[in-house]
Structure 1
């Protein structure tokens, strides 16, 4: 499978770069949420995104079980 996104194509084949990108993206997102944690809209958005992540996890478990 070929990655069409030119930015992602440079890191998708390197486990170290991919792991680094994920760590940096996660830390940045957590920092933003921590900095703005007192705003009600941010708290609601965080819970909604948590729900989306859980649903995506279930979806990938189903897809993975169908592929294997």
Structure 2
């Protein structure tokens, strides 16, 4: 699995950080997503998929099979 985030479309809702704080963070000044781990461990794949699914702006992209 490989992740990318689009900071230009992120609305700062923070759902990704609540679900997977090992993988996502937010910038202090505006709450925009920061990707901490673009290739998370297998144990985190399910929660990362959920974070991408609930992102209201669709800012998280998941590429499977990496």
Structure with greater helix share of residues: 1
Tell which structure's C-alpha radius of gyration is larger. Answer: 1
Query: Which structure: greater strand fraction?
Result: 2
State TM-score, norm by structure 2. Answer: 0.24
Q: TM-score, normalised by structure 1?
A: 0.24
Higher RCO (C-alpha 8 Å, min separation 6) = 2
